Amino acid sequence: MRYEPEHKTRTRERIVQNAARKLRAEGLSGPGVASVMKASGLTVGGFYKHFRSKDELLAEAVAQAFSELSDKVASVQNVPPEDRWKEIVRWYLSPEHCNHPGTGCPVVTLAPEIARAKSSMKKRTADLMKKLADGWVSFMPGVTAKEREHNFFVIFSAMAGAVAIARLLPAPADRQKVLNSVRDYLLASF
């Protein structure tokens, strides 16, 4: 059976998307190649037709997760520029984001592991983080570019920390208390 020319590209994209979801849900060492390939509807034998190594897949999956986060931010383009950061704060500190790590921010789920990963993985992730910051800074509160960049790091770090802490708590009411506290503080402080 012959496949159309785009088949291999679409298959690779599907593998990367599934790996990105599984990495955020299970961590860098969580999903094996077999698990990712099964989630993609493929056998393990086909893995090396698309990737040279698991590290290559991990790097692409982390980049995909950052891309998906950027897509979420792009979805607020219809909101007035001065209110975009508030929409992001509301989404980021929502139960929906907190309760679904597989589709959420890769920083919350992967930062501790990436900090202990190979230097090449840390470098690629640092580049992705810089790109993310560059994209968000434009609509952060502040008068100058330096102030907006400062506020990005304060706001983003607070949000990531709040979600990480909330995910540690088994009771939904306790999770919500953490998310609401940080959300309300951020919205009132800037």
pLDDT digits (tens, 9 = 90+) for 153-186: 999 999 999 999 999 999 999 999 999 999 999 9
The b/e string for 49-60 (b: 16+ C-beta within 10 A; e otherwise) is ebbeeeeebbbb
CB count, 10 Å around CB of 187? 14
> Which domains does the chain possess?
7-189 (1.10.357.10)
Q: How far apart are CA 150 and CA 36, in angstroms?
A: 38
3 pLDDT more than 90: no
Confidence bin at 1 (pLDDT 50/70/90): low
User: Which of 34-38, 76-80, 154-158, 161-165 has the weakest average pLDDT?
Assistant: 34-38
Predicted TM-score (pTM) above 0.85: yes
Which is nearest to 97 in space by CA: 144, 160, 140?
A: 160
pLDDT at 140 over 80: yes
